[in-house]
With several copies, the nearest count.
Chain A
Amino acid sequence: MPCTARDAAAAVRRGADAMAEHRDELVELDRAIGDGDHGENMDRGFRAVVAQLDLADPPTPGAVLKLVATSLISSVGGASGPLFGTAFLRAASSAGEVEELDGATLAASLRAAVEGVVSRGKAEPEDKTMIDALLPAVRAAEERATSGADPAEVLAAAAEAATTGARSTVPLIARKGRASYLGDRSAGHLDPGARSVALLLAAFADVTGVE
Chain B
Amino acid sequence: MKKIINAPTDVVTDALRGMAAAHPERLRVRFDPAFVARADAPVADKVAVVSGGGSGHEPLHVGFVGSGMLDAAVPGAVFTSPTPDAVRAAVGEVDGGAGTLLVVKNYTGDVLNFETAAELLEAENIGVRTVVVQDDVAVRDSTNTAGRRGVGGTVLLEKIVGAAAARGDDLASCHEIAERVSAGVRSMGMALTAPTVPHVGEPSFELADYEMEVGVGIHAEPGRERVELESADGIVWRLLEPVLDDLPFRRDDEVLLFTNSMGATPQTELYLAHGIAERFLAERGVRVTRRLVGPYITSLEMRGLSFTLLKLDDELRRLWDAPVSTPALTW
Q: Please report A residues at the B interface, Cβ cutoff 8 Å.
A: 27, 31, 35-37, 40-41, 44, 73-83, 85, 120-121, 173, 175-178, 180-183, 185
A181 touches B108 (CB 8 A): no
- A77 and B145 in contact, given A37-B77, A181-B221 (Cβ under 8 angstroms): no
Bound-state Cα–Cα, A82 to B220, Å: 23
- On chain A, the residues within 8 Å of B202 by CB distance are 31, 36
In the bound complex, CA of A177 to CA of B76 (Å): 17
Q: Which residues of B contact A27 (CB under 8 A)?
A: 199-200
CB atoms of B144 and A40 under 8 A apart: no
A85 to B78, CA, bound (A): 20
Nearest-CB residue, chain A, relative to B87? A77
Q: How far is the CB of B206 from chain A (nearest CB, A)?
A: 11
| B107 CB-CB contact with A under 8 Å | yes
Q: In the bound complex, do residue A120 and residue B112 qualify as a contact, i.e. CB atoms below 8 Å apart?
A: yes
Cα distance A177–B82 in the bound complex, in angstroms = 16
Secondary structure type dominating chain A contacts:
helix
Q: Bound state CA distance, A74 and B221, in angstroms?
A: 26
**Contact status B83-A81, CB under 8 Å:** yes
- Distance between B299 CB and nearest chain A CB, rounded to angstroms: 10
A182 to B115, CA, bound (A): 25
The residues of A that contact B294 with a CB separation of less than 8 Å are none
Q: What 1/0 flags go to B65-109 for Cβ under 8 Å of A?
A: 000000000001111111111100000000000000000000111
A158 to chain B, nearest CB (A): 24
Contact of B112 with A44 in the complex, beta carbons under 8 Å: no
Query: Cβ of B9: which chain A residues have Cβ within 8 Å of it?
Result: 40, 44
Closest to A74 in B: B85
Residues of B within 8 A of A (CB): 9, 33, 54, 76-86, 107-109, 112-113, 115-116, 139, 141, 144-146, 149, 197, 199-200, 202, 204, 217, 219-222
Given contacts A31-B204, A180-B144, A183-B141, A41 and B77 within 8 Å (CB-CB): yes
B18 smallest CB distance to A (angstroms): 21
A41 CB contacts on chain B under 8 angstroms: 77, 80
Contacts of A75 in B (CB 8 A): 83
When C-beta atoms are compared, the residue in chain B nearest to A41 turns out to be: B80
A-B contacts counted at CB < 8 A amount to 111
Output the least CB separation between B162 and chain A (Å).
24
Chain B min CB distance to A125 (Å): 15
State which of A37, A83, A180, A185 has its C-beta within 8 Å of the C-beta of B80.
A37
Contact A82-B146, Cβ < 8 Å, known A37-B78, A37-B200:
no
Q: How far is the CB of A123 from chain B (nearest CB, A)?
A: 9
Offer 12 A-B interface pairs, CB within 8 angstroms, sorted by A: A31-B200, A36-B202, A40-B199, A44-B77, A73-B83, A73-B85, A81-B109, A82-B116, A120-B112, A178-B146, A180-B144, A181-B146
Give 7 new A-B contacts, CB below 8 A, not counting A77-B113, A178-B221: A31-B202, A36-B197, A77-B80, A78-B76, A78-B80, A177-B146, A182-B222
Chain A residues in 8 Å Cβ range of B149: 181
Complex Cα distance, B34 from A75, in Å, reads 11
- From A37, A73, A83, contact of B199 by CB (8 A): A37
Residues of A within 8 A of B145 (CB): 175, 180-181, 183
Q: Which 5 A-B pairs have the closest CB atoms?
A: A180-B145, A82-B112, A78-B109, A79-B108, A79-B109
Q: How far is the CA of A36 from the CA of B200 in the complex (A)?
A: 7
B112 touches A83 (CB 8 A): yes
Min CB distance B301 to A, Å, is 15
CA distance A175 to B147 in the complex (A): 9
